[in-house]
Structure 1
């Protein structure tokens, strides 16, 4: 039987597949052969080039193609549906994410558990244009597939390396590798950190040991440098396509005072996945500004949460461009985006930016570490130990509520980290509220309506002297929402509370947990011991 060759188009590349036994008789066998040759794991659909119409049509039978025909591979991601019985209520443990990924659109369902008082879960549907463009950085970087020629060269070179240790030094292969690595890295971030670049280089050498750098002790130093400069060149190329996350740092878009400094580069610094998204297709600043005005009007209506969520989701890119590029004050943001200063919308915005559910993750992680933390606090001696014992007096009767236990743990943890709980959690009476609020930069405030310690109290958040949120029910929830606001408003952490916010972010929410400060690393080691 004569062999056959097919010209295969997949994504943005063209490959050649040789069939030693000729065109298979069954379509299933052809599917299997193509998937094996191109290392495809997802389900696929094949299309063939019709000579009469000069266009691609769905391949129904292998008799429609012959030697040197052109076929097109379309990957079909699996459809995952989670079904629930009618009228079944959700609990916080029933968190489910449903994704429908097809070649036409992406639809993501997100359950919003920001209301911890027991209300049923609500759903936010992200349209194709608003679906997240990026993914969180993986724990282990997966090396992408290179071109067929490069894969063949690497396969042979790996065999030679295992026999006599000879490394591969082909320039053309290195160029293709760096290009594919840059494309893969960009799906996670446009500005990878040194640790992230190191993880890519180590994963590359692990997958292809023939690429080991003989000139360095670790064997990856040359690849680290090459990947770093390749990403810089790749960002330059992307600026030509108008990608917002890189064009915002072009010289013509920066202030004259910033053009000589690299310190004010606008880029994700706390594991933001969607830091500066592109405008949705068919939308621009003017159209989304009209949506913002309608959003402000909708906010004045009662029982209108669904419409507010839809418009907040639609205007996400417009809001991020305004906050990142213009750096307005908190008061200005509150006037233009009042809906953003609701606990449910803070959680939704945090999830758009990081893909992480804020309150469920924060509270569950805090509860998980509470027993170990309390053990560490009780074992501490000296002046710090006395302060911690004073804070933990409330837990002695054994009848504390969950929120009270969480608050005690947070207060003790702040002190344990060498900072002061009073710098984050401010308590005062109603009559002295206004004068003290104006002096606060960022704090959780607990206001009592009477002189007694048992009098009713209100928990809120103050940023830049502006009371942005009230009626937050508890201090732990206020701390959680405050962290969400630092992401939503692109705010820096207070210097005198940097360790506390680092624990909130990196230990509780597990965002950018690769690099920790000494104090936080010490706490993490004790929690895991």
Structure 2
């Protein structure tokens, strides 16, 4: 079947979608391909450009589009109702209420009982209510500069016109505070701890939108703004801590144990592109109410054909689970006892998507398959002792009897570990029998392969599982590639560090295969990426 390409319009983005197997037969397959390519987490519908009318119409069937057709992604924003208790002077922050009601990051309706105490300020009520429904978004490819106040927008419009005609920069420091406040609010919808690269991208977007704001002290015109954004975000986090926002409150000194009470030590923030690293509790819920749901979840997870109930309860208790993992650092055994459903493969995928907004297994396998031809070429071209080791591993591909896509993926992954200068035995542990329990209990993080009764060399007769901290958390997996993706998912779900002896392997899994935080690579992985793109 011939491949097909589609032109996809999504907001301000225009992307080319390549479909190796041609136009999908069903809308579900097309929606999944678009969701993975554009990393869309919201609900959406599709429209196609009708050549007869020259306008977009709702796409109900993939039969209505052909190769090189143009389709548009239309997100479906939920309706959010926010009610706030009025203070005694009957005034409240109307601008915040309006902004929150139209916040596209809000993913569920938020209703707050207005009969609560009126002693707290309207600003406190607004911010706490916003935190209950706010879901973080992945950092955008192109940062969108928010609208500033009316007077600031008027000043900038005139100053930009003067700059285009005369090249004169704006010298009105009194509007800088308004600009930085709006930027901080917008940045926080992505992360409370923007990296240097994040801050530079915001500064560059600001100068591109308003060239009159260039910093005269640097050739690029953005260094001064980058520094101002850095200090503004620090002040903004301090402000949010006053309202108990969890992803910044956890780093306040009074919330750390005495041994860690240094501002720069043990900062609990997203380090691997986690979008929802430490989310607030859902509106109307607290630790006690969610604990009751967790207890029900343990019971429900023991029942058969109960996937939908378990899925809903896992989603509802996501914030409670993250608070336990980030703040209490429980053992894997304790997590398995309290959250048994978390170690089901489907729930690992769901938890990974909740944390990063990225589909785990589909994207991992798709990237692995896409890079396989080039990787095999690199492996075969390698000489010396490493080349001989890779050749021995690749001999498995010559066995036509047991050849399959799963076998090919396994061979590529085993070779990849060796190619990166690490040892496959550190990740994949093979046992001849089930009697080596003492050795299994010593494993920190590994994929285990044990024979089934009557086993041969075929993986279909092997039991593949995952062991973390000496605990066998998953068994009965079908292949090594799936085990690798689920192990990566568990490191996110349980906030675990990568094994030191496999740091390059997991970096490839995360940054090359899943494209999470892929802007900063080690020299070894950057070299591999360059070769794959050559």
Paired residue for 2:433? 430
State the alpha-carbon separation in 1 of the partners of residues 358 and 44 from structure 2. 22
Deviations along 1:416-462, whole A, 9 cap, x unmatched?
A: 11111111111112244312111111111111246975373100001
Paired residue for 1:265? 267
Paired residue for 2:519? 514
Paired residue for 1:51? none
State the alpha-carbon separation in 2 of the partners of residues 358 and 131 from structure 1. 24
Paired residue for 1:80? 45
Paired residue for 2:243? 241
Pick aligned residue for 1:142 from 118, 123, 144: 144
Contact persistence 2:181–2:232 (CA under 8 A): yes
Q: What is the alpha-carbon root mean square deviation over aligned residues?
A: 2.5
Paired residue for 2:493? 488
CA separation of 1:513 and 1:131: change in aligned 2, threshold 3 A: farther
Contact persistence 1:427–1:446 (CA under 8 A): yes
Deviations along 1:477-524, whole A, 9 cap, x unmatched?
A: 000000000010011111111111111111111111111111111111
Paired residue for 1:466? 471
Q: TM-score, normalised by structure 2?
A: 0.76
Paired residue for 2:319? 317
State the alpha-carbon separation in 1 of the partners of residues 454 and 385 from structure 2. 29
* TM-fit CA distance, 1:128: 3.9
* TM-fit CA distance, 1:166: 2.0
Paired residue for 1:359? 361
State the alpha-carbon separation in 1 of the partners of residues 211 and 400 from structure 2. 58
Paired residue for 1:59? none
Contact persistence 1:249–1:265 (CA under 8 A): yes
SS of the residue 2:447 aligns to? strand
SS of the residue 2:140 aligns to? coil
CA separation of 1:306 and 1:170: change in aligned 2, threshold 3 A: same
* TM-fit CA distance, 1:307: 1.2
Deviations along 1:155-178, whole A, 9 cap, x unmatched?
A: 222222233332222112211111
State the alpha-carbon separation in 1 of the partners of residues 513 and 422 from structure 2. 18
* TM-fit CA distance, 1:310: 1.2
State the alpha-carbon separation in 1 of the partners of residues 453 and 45 from structure 2. 54
Deviations along 1:351-388, whole A, 9 cap, x unmatched?
A: 11111111111101110111111111111111111111
Paired residue for 1:9? none
Paired residue for 1:230? 232
1:283 paired to 2:285: yes
Paired residue for 2:125? none
Pick aligned residue for 2:507 from 486, 499, 502: 502
Pick aligned residue for 1:411 from 409, 414, 417: 414
Runs of 4+ in 1 over 3 A off after TM superposition: 77-85, 97-100, 126-132, 449-453
SS of the residue 1:141 aligns to? coil
| Structure 1, gaps ≥5 residues long | 1-39, 42-76, 86-96, 107-125
Contact persistence 1:285–1:318 (CA under 8 A): yes
SS of the residue 2:515 aligns to? coil
SS of the residue 2:496 aligns to? coil
1:376 paired to 2:378: yes
Pick aligned residue for 1:442 from 426, 442, 445: 445
State the alpha-carbon separation in 1 of the partners of residues 498 and 518 from structure 2. 16
Larger Rg: 1
State the alpha-carbon separation in 2 of the partners of residues 131 and 360 from structure 1. 28
SS of the residue 1:492 aligns to? coil
Pick aligned residue for 1:102 from 78, 88, 93: 78
Contact persistence 1:279–1:317 (CA under 8 A): yes
5 Å-filtered alignment, 1:31-70, equals none
1:307 paired to 2:309: yes
CA separation of 1:105 and 1:493: change in aligned 2, threshold 3 A: farther
CA separation of 1:99 and 1:467: change in aligned 2, threshold 3 A: farther
1:348 paired to 2:381: no
Aligned length: 426
State the alpha-carbon separation in 2 of the partners of residues 321 and 83 from structure 1. 42
State the alpha-carbon separation in 2 of the partners of residues 79 and 401 from structure 1. 35
State the alpha-carbon separation in 2 of the partners of residues 419 and 79 from structure 1. 42
Contact persistence 1:460–1:470 (CA under 8 A): yes
State the alpha-carbon separation in 1 of the partners of residues 380 and 336 from structure 2. 42
CA separation of 1:84 and 1:321: change in aligned 2, threshold 3 A: farther
Contact persistence 2:247–2:278 (CA under 8 A): yes
Q: TM-score, normalised by structure 1?
A: 0.76
Deviations along 1:404-427, whole A, 9 cap, x unmatched?
A: 100111111111111111111111
Contact persistence 1:429–1:449 (CA under 8 A): no
State the alpha-carbon separation in 2 of the partners of residues 445 and 83 from structure 1. 46
State the alpha-carbon separation in 1 of the partners of residues 271 and 157 from structure 2. 37
State the alpha-carbon separation in 1 of the partners of residues 518 and 242 from structure 2. 33
State the alpha-carbon separation in 1 of the partners of residues 144 and 391 from structure 2. 47
Contact persistence 1:191–1:267 (CA under 8 A): yes
